[in-house]
Chains A and B, each alone.
Chain A
C-alpha cells in the first residue's frame, strides 16, 4: 500500500429518501494528510454525505471504505455511529450539538469515552486503576483544550460559551476520540472574519501536528480556498467538479451551480 492510497473512499454512493435522490452516485476519496473541502449550494447533499459516512444514515447504494495506517481496507457503510467513531472517524455538527449543561472539560471527557475501560463494576469498586485512569483522563482532556485554546473556559458550562468557542469545543470533543479523519460540518458558520482566521490556523494545526486528515463542509469560500488542497463540488446530490482551489474557481459548471445560468 502506498501512502497515496486513500484513507477514505466513497464508491458510487446513493442515498434515496422516498422519491428524493439526496445523493446520486457520488464517488470521492481522501488521501492521508489532506485537507479536503466539500462545497455546494444549500441542499446539495453535503451533510447527507457526512451522515452516510458517520453512520447516521445507511446509504441506499454504494460503499464507504476506510484504511487506517497500513491496514486492510474495510467497509463501514451501515455500521452504527459509535462503531464508526471507534474506527477513527470523528465529526462535528452543523447545528452545534454540545452537551450544554455539562462543563467544557466534561464535554471533552465524553469524547474520551472509548479511551477508558472502566465499566459499572469498576465504577462501583473504584480501584486504583480506575482512579489512575480518571486522573490521566483529566490531564489528556486539558491538553486537548489547551491546544484548541479553550483552557480559559475549562470549567465553564458549555452552553454559556461564546459562539466561536462552542464551535471550537465541538472540534476539541471530536479530537478527543483520537480520530485519523476529522469531518467538520461548517466549522466557521456564524463566525466573524477574525474568528474564521483563527479557526483556519487551528485546522492547519490539527493536520500538521495531530496528523489528522480533514474533510470539511463550508460555505465560507475564503476559508475553503485558503486551507483546502482539493475541493469537491456537489449540486443536487451529484458531484459536478473536483480539483484544486484554482481549478474550481475557474470551472464553468461550478459557477453555473452557484450563480445560475
Chain B
C-alpha cells in the first residue's frame, strides 16, 4: 500500500519533470540572440538536467507533503515536536513567576528597541506596528464577525486624510493663534478614529444582507471609491500629489528632531497596539463578542435568538474601521506625507493576508502575521522582486498545511466549573481551553 503510493508519486513526478522540461525549454534552454539582423538560436543544453531534477524534486516533495498532511488528518497536533514545544511553553507560562519574567523581558526589549537599533530600524518597526493595528482591527471584522472586507484600506485613508486635512486647513490657524501645531496629532487621533468608524457604519448599511463573494465585491468597490474620491477632488485633498509636510507629533510643546520624533512615534505606536489588544480582548470576551461569534456561526439562528444583526454588523464594521483610522493618523505622522497611492487595494489585501496567515480570529495571529508580512520584506530587500511570488507561496502553504494560521486562535470558551449535580457551584468563565 505504502509502496504503491511511493511508486505512484515517483512515476507522477517523473512525468511532471518531463512535462516541465518541455514547457520551460523555450524559456530557459533556447536563447535567441539577434546580431546584425540575423537571429541566432543558442541551445543551452546544460540547463536541461537541472530543470528536470528540480521539477522532479519539487513535485515529489509536494506530493509527499500533501500525503503526510492528509494522513495527519483532523488529529489535534498533539504529537509533533512543535506541538510538544508549544504545550511545554504554555504550561511554563501558566506559572506566575515565569510569566512575569517573560513579559518583563519582552517589555524591556520593546522599550530599548529604538535606542539599541537606531532610526532606520525604528522606522521599519513603526510601519510594522501600524500594520499590527490594522490587522487587529480587520481581525474584528473578518475573524470575529466573519465578514470579508476588501476595502479596509479606505478606513486607513480616512484616518490619514483626517490628520492631513486637519493640518492643511486648521494648521495655519493654529500657527496664527500661537498654538503648537504639534497638538493637531492628538486632536486628529480620536477624530480620525470616530470618522473612520462613521465610514464603517456607512459601509455596513448597503452590505447588511450580503455575504461571501458579494460582500467582498462591494467592500472592494467601496475601497476603490474612497481612493478615487481622494485622488480626484484635487482642490480639497491635493489630488494625486497628496498632502505633504504633515507635522510629527510634538513632545509637550517641543518640536523633536526626526530621530527623536521617530522614537516618540514608536512609543505612541506601541501604546496604541497595547490599547488595541486590550480593547479587542475585552470585546471578544463579552456579550457583544459572543453575539459576533454566533453571527458568524449561523445568522438565521442568531437572529431568531433575538440578536439584532443590523446593529451587530454596524458595530463590527465601525469597530474595525476605528482602528484603521487610528493607524492612518500614525502613518501620516510617521511619513509626514500622504497621497492616495498609499491606500490601494493592495494594502487591504496585505492586511487581510496578515490576518489569514497569522490565524483568523486570533490576536497573536494578527500581531504575528502583520509583523512577519511587514518586517521580512524589509530585511530581505534583495528578494524584493520576488515578493509577490513568496507571498503567494506562503499563502498556499499556510492554507494547506496550517489552515488555522501560524498562531491559531485559542478561543476562550465559557465553561462551567463545579460539581454538575450541585446547586450553588461557583461559576467560572476563565477556562482557557484549546479549540477542538
Interface segment, B40-48, B228-236, B281-289? B281-289
| Interfacial residues of chain B within 317-336, with CB under 8 A of chain A in the complex | 319
B303, B306, B431, most chain A CB atoms within 10 A: B306
For A130, the chain B residues whose CB sits under 8 A away are 286
- CB of B415 within 8 A of CB of A97, answer no
Closest to A85 in B: B306
The stretch among A34-42, A106-114, A212-220, A238-246 that forms the contact with chain B is: A106-114
Q: Contact at B429–A134, with CB atoms within 8 Å?
A: yes
Q: Is B259 an interface residue (CB 8 A)?
A: no
- Chain A 44-55 against B: per-residue CB contact (8 Å), 1 yes, 0 no? 000000000010
**From residue A170, how far is it (CB to closest CB) to chain B in Å?**
9
Stretch with Cβ within 8 A of B (4 or more), from A23-31, A58-66, A116-124? A116-124
Inter-subunit contact A118/B420 (CB<8 Å): no
Contact A85/B427 with A102-B297, A124-B279 known, Cβ cut-off 8 Å: no
Do A91 and B304 touch (CB < 8 A)?
A: yes
Chain A interface secondary structure, helix, strand, loop or mixed?
helix
> Which B residue's beta carbon lies closest to that of A119?
B288
**Separation of A119 and B291 alpha carbons in the complex (Å):** 11
Q: Write the nearest CB–CB distance from A189 to chain B, whole angstroms.
A: 17
Q: How far is the CB of B144 from chain A (nearest CB, A)?
A: 12
* B119 within 8 A of partner (CB): no
B117 at the interface (CB under 8 A from A): no
- 8 Å CB contacts to B: which residues of A92-148? 93, 97-103, 105-106, 109-111, 113-114, 116, 118-120, 122-124, 126, 130, 133-135, 138-139, 142
Q: Which residues of B contact A54 (CB under 8 A)?
A: 304
Q: In the complex, what's the smallest C-beta–C-beta distance from A241 to chain B, in angstroms?
A: 29
Q: B293 an interface residue at 8 Å Cβ cutoff?
A: yes
Say whether, besides A120-B315, A138-B429, A99 and B307 are in contact (CB < 8 Å). no
- Across the interface, do B305 and A177 meet the contact criterion of CB distance under 8 Å? yes
For B416, the chain A residues whose CB sits under 8 A away are 105, 138, 142, 154-155
Chain B residues with Cβ under 8 A from A98's Cβ? Answer: 298, 301
A114: chain B residues at CB < 8 Å are 306-307
For A103, list chain B residues within 8 Å (CB). Answer: 413-415
In the bound complex, residues from chain A placing their C-beta under 8 Å from that of B297 are 99-102
Query: Out of B283, B294, B303, B413, which one reaches A124, CB within 8 Å?
Result: B283
Return chain B residues, CB-CB under 8 Å to A133.
287
Query: Is B300 an interface position by the 8 A CB rule?
Result: yes
> In whole angstroms, what is the CA distance A116 to B289 when docked?
13
Given contacts A82-B308, A138-B427, whether A110 and B420 have CB atoms under 8 Å apart is: no
Q: Are A99 and B298 in contact (CB under 8 A)?
A: yes
Instruction: Verify B414–A113 contact, CB threshold 8 A.
Output: no
Complex CA–CA separation, A142 to B420 (angstroms):
9
> By the criterion CB–CB under 8 Å, are A82 and B306 in contact?
yes
Asked if B309 lies at the interface with its beta carbon under 8 angstroms from chain A, I say: yes
Shortest distance between the CB of A55 and any CB in chain B (Å): 8
Complex Cα–Cα for A201 and B181 (A): 73
Q: Does B436 interact with chain A (Cβ within 8 Å)? A: yes
Min CB distance B219 to A, Å, is 21
CB distance from A168 to the nearest CB of B (A): 15
Q: In this complex, which of A90, A138, A173, A174 has the most chain B Cβ atoms within 10 angstroms of its Cβ?
A: A138
Contacts A82-B309, A126-B282 given; does A106 touch B287 at CB 8 Å:
no
Q: List the A residue with the shortest CB-CB distance to B293.
A: A102
Q: Is B302 an interface residue (CB 8 A)?
A: yes
Residues of B258-307 whose CB lies within 8 A of A: 279, 282-283, 286-291, 293-294, 297-298, 300-307
Question: How far is the CB of A174 from the nearest CB of chain B, in Å?
Answer: 8
Is A253 at the interface (CB under 8 A from chain B)?
no
* A48 CB to nearest chain B CB (Å): 15
The CA of A228 and the CA of B308, in the complex, are separated in Å by: 33
Decide if A123 touches B427 in the complex (CB within 8 Å).
no
A196 within 8 A of B: no
Query: Cβ of A164: which chain B residues have Cβ within 8 Å of it?
Result: none
Q: Are B413 and A123 in contact (CB under 8 A)?
A: no
Q: Looking at the assembled complex, report how far the CB atom of A104 sits from the nearest CB atom of chain B, in whole angstroms.
A: 9
A106 to B431, CA, bound (A): 13
Taking a contact as CB atoms under 8 Å apart, the answer to whether A154 and B306 are in contact is no
> Chain A 185-224 against B: per-residue CB contact (8 Å), 1 yes, 0 no?
0000000000000000000000000000000000000000
A185: min CB distance to chain B, Å = 11
User: Please, which residues of chain A bring their CB within 8 A of the CB of B289?
Assistant: 123
Instruction: Check: A86 CB closer than 8 A to any chain B CB.
Output: yes
Complex contacts, B431 vs chain A, CB 8 Å: 155
Is B287 touching A123 in the complex (CB atoms < 8 A)?
A: yes
A166 to B367 Cα, complex, angstroms:
36
Q: Is the CB of B282 within 8 A of A135?
A: no
* List of A residues within 8 angstroms of B420 by Cβ: 151-152, 154
CA distance A177 to B304 in the complex (A): 10
What string of 1s and 0s marks CB contacts (under 8 Å) between B416-431 and chain A?
1000110000010101
**Max chain B Cβ within 10 angstroms of own Cβ: one of A86, A142, A174:** A142
**Cβ < 8 Å to B, chain A residues 151-173:** 151-152, 154-155, 157, 173
CB of B75, distance to nearest CB on chain A (Å):
15
Knowing A110-B290, A154-B420, the reply to whether A86 touches B283 (Cβ < 8 A) is no
Question: Cα distance A135–B416 when bound, in Å?
Answer: 11
Do B290 and A81 touch across chains, with their CB atoms under 8 A apart? no
What are 8 sample pairs from A and B whose C-beta atoms fall under 8 A apart? A82-B309, A110-B294, A114-B306, A120-B288, A123-B283, A133-B287, A134-B429, A155-B433
Q: A103-B413, A135-B427 are in contact. List 5 more A-B contacts (CB 8 A).
A: A56-B304, A85-B304, A86-B306, A93-B301, A120-B283
Q: Which 4 A-B pairs have the closest CB atoms?
A: A123-B286, A85-B306, A97-B301, A138-B427
